[in-house]
Amino acid sequence: MGTKTVDEAGAETGTEAKRDEQTVDVTKTGTSADNGTETEAYATEPAEEQDENDETPADGDDTAEAGQAAGVGQGAAAVVSAGLGVVSLTGSWVATVAAARETLVGQLQTSSNASVATQVKEVYGDAWATTALIGGLFALAALIVGVVVLVRPAFGAPGKPQAAWIKSVAWAGVSLGVVGLVLAVAKYSDIILGLPSTS
């Protein structure tokens, strides 16, 4: 009886020991699995942060390129506005050809027995009016382009001021356009530099 008791106790003790070992193994396995998962999570997080950091400069580069493209376009338009304003005041080959053509037409359509006033108007007056008209069209174009350049930042990305030189050139184009338009209207209506009196 004593031996069985010892054996049974030993068997029970051995069984309990095995159960304890299995419990310890499971605990160790779970801990190591958890540690492995945490290690993978920690190893993954820096990679994701690095990817996000890599994407941020790319977006910044795109925004910078878009801003530069907009600045280049506005600068070119401002220069065009100023150039059109200068042409409206100094004249162009288009106005020269149109005036010469109007002079030729006046000579062909005016009879030799027409009055001096009629001949002057047909040969010279219409040619000068044509020159003023074309100059006024160039001045109007300069005015419109300059105004568009000046108001463009209001419709663009906020917080990006327009370059000072673009504003200066655009204002120059607007000013030249206004002056050229006023002079063209004054000449076309014979307020200034009208036809000489033939009486």
**Average pLDDT score over residue span 114-130:** 86
- Does the pLDDT of residue 65 top 50, yes or no? yes
The band of 140, judged by pLDDT with boundaries at 50, 70 and 90, is very high
Provide the whole-model pTM: 0.64
Per residue in 67-87, pLDDT (tens digit) is 566 678 889 999 999 999 999
Which pLDDT does position 40 carry in this prediction?
Answer: 45
The band of 130, judged by pLDDT with boundaries at 50, 70 and 90, is very high
Which pLDDT does position 165 carry in this prediction?
Answer: 92
User: Burial level of 52, CB count in 10 A (0-12/13-18/19+)?
Assistant: exposed
Backbone dihedral angles phi then psi of residue 183, each to the nearest 5 degrees:
-65, -40
- Does the pLDDT of residue 28 top 70, yes or no? no
